[in-house]
Amino acid sequence: MKRVFMLFGIGVMIVHSSCESHHKEHHHKKSNFLVSQPTVQDTATVKTYVAQIRSISHIELRSQERGFLEKVYVDEGQFVKQGQLLFQIMPKLYEAEMHKAKAEARFAEIEFENTKNLADSKVVAPNELAMAEAKFEKAKAELELAKVHLSFTEIRAPFDGIIDRFQVRQGSLVDEGDLLTTLSDNSKMWVYFNVPEAEYLDYMTGLHDSTPLNVSLKMANNKMFEYGGIVETIEADFNNETGNIPFRATFPNPKGLLRHGETGSIEIRIPLPNAILIPQKSTFEVLDKKYVFIVDDENIVHSKLITTSAELPHIFAVASGLDANDKFLLDGIRLVKENEKIKYRLLQPDSVLSHLSLYAE
């Protein structure tokens, strides 16, 4: 029996010791809260949009005449110059038609000249001269048409660009309108991205008439494209299903790195002048609303609702609810209660932010 009481006494001592230790630890934590003040400085946030990259000119090259593909003068992926000969469709039939039209035009010309001489001598009536002249003009028109058909057997590059994959091979029988390949002008690239209505309004109200919207391009390998772009075109209508409107940015591409059909992300840098900045870890949420604990002049904490204008790495930019002179609880927000008096140590805002990832001007 004595042994039972002895064990009970030891247990009570252990529990008392544990509670006392927990109380001291909690008191120790309470007396060592860290408090800071917001930082006010110019910074910026970045908006990101999924983008589609397109050549400024991307066209299909099709056959304009029927015949066998006699010659292919270029290779897939080759850079070609404007006017360069790319394909030759067998021209013999069209050459023969042109020679025939040339002969008929020559015959009509001689006939017209003879009739004109006779008309000048009052041998034939003026109507006969007019008929001969009309016949000559018709023959010349047919000759020009034959030349056009012959020229269609040569497919030339309409502008400088890069040849895509061939859809036919040398010796293939092609019909009028058959696709041969495509040609892309990649000297500049058009990058399309969709912007929600609210952000569109922000951009439009924040820009002056002469101020372009500058953007950057992050490529599929997560590296930034070395040249910046400018938004030059915004489409006329919003998509009623998505609530977005397409923007088109133009990027120079002097090294030819970008190709038609690539994807990437457009990044738009939004300046935040005189932004009030606090660490994200100092906030807590209740029903999707953000709060911080404010420490008043009597060292009593109060929760305060805030709204944010931007989210940076580890940092919120506060739009309302917090002044630059307010003191807020930096950490330990789960260890305090509303209207609780605390002891704290005040940290300078610069020293707090120096340990966070911040991209500021």
Single pTM value for the model: 0.69
Given a cut of 60, whether residue 316 has pLDDT beyond it is yes
Q: Report the pLDDT averaged over residues 336-348.
A: 89
pLDDT at 353: 74
- Of 172, 252, 169, the closest CA to residue 217 belongs to 252
170-189: pLDDT as tens digits: 888 888 889 999 999 999 99
pLDDT at 23: 44
The dihedral built from the CA positions of residue 321, 326, 331 and 333, taken in this order, carries a sign that is negative
Name 308's bridge partners.
Answer: 318
CB 183 within 8 A of CB 163: yes
Least confident range of 108-112, 292-296, 332-336: 108-112
Tokens representing 318?
């506060």
Measure CA of the first residue to CA of the last residue in the chain; give whole Å.
Answer: 77
What are the Cα distances from residue 68, in Å, to 143, 150, 171, 294? 23, 14, 6, 83
Beta-carbon count within 10 A of 334 CB = 6
Chain centroid to CA 344: 48
Tokens representing 348?
């300078």
- Of 171, 182, 186, 163, the closest CA to residue 61 belongs to 182
Chain centroid to CA 178: 33
| Secondary structure class of 3 (helix, strand, coil) | helix
Residue type, 277: L
pLDDT at 148: 77
pLDDT at 154: 83
Tokens representing 74?
């270029």
Percent residues over pLDDT 90 in the chain: 40
pLDDT at 10: 45
User: Pseudo-torsion of CA 342, 345, 351, 355, nearest 10°?
Assistant: -60
Distance in angstroms (rounded) separating the CA atoms of residues 315 and 329: 15
Distance in angstroms (rounded) separating the CA atoms of residues 132 and 125: 11
Distance in angstroms (rounded) separating the CA atoms of residues 355 and 15: 40
Strands (DSSP E) found in the chain = 33-36, 39-62, 67-72, 79-80, 85-89, 154-156, 161-163, 173-174, 179-196, 213-219, 229-234, 244-252, 263-279, 284-286, 289-295, 301-312, 315-320, 328-329, 344-346
What are the Cα distances from residue 5, in Å, to 43, 47, 110? 68, 70, 142
256-301: pLDDT as tens digits: 999 999 999 999 988 888 889 999 888 999 988 999 999 999 999 9
Residue type, 20: E
Q: Report the pLDDT averaged over residues 97-123.
A: 80
59-107: pLDDT as tens digits: 999 988 888 888 999 999 999 999 999 998 886 677 677 778 788 878 8
Distance in angstroms (rounded) separating the CA atoms of residues 235 and 238: 8
DSSP letter at 326? -
| Secondary structure class of 182 (helix, strand, coil) | strand
Distance in angstroms (rounded) separating the CA atoms of residues 248 and 165: 27
Distance in angstroms (rounded) separating the CA atoms of residues 284 and 286: 7
- Of 106, 102, 86, 105, the closest CA to residue 94 belongs to 102
Beta-carbon count within 10 A of 170 CB = 12
220-249: pLDDT as tens digits: 999 999 999 999 999 989 998 899 999 999
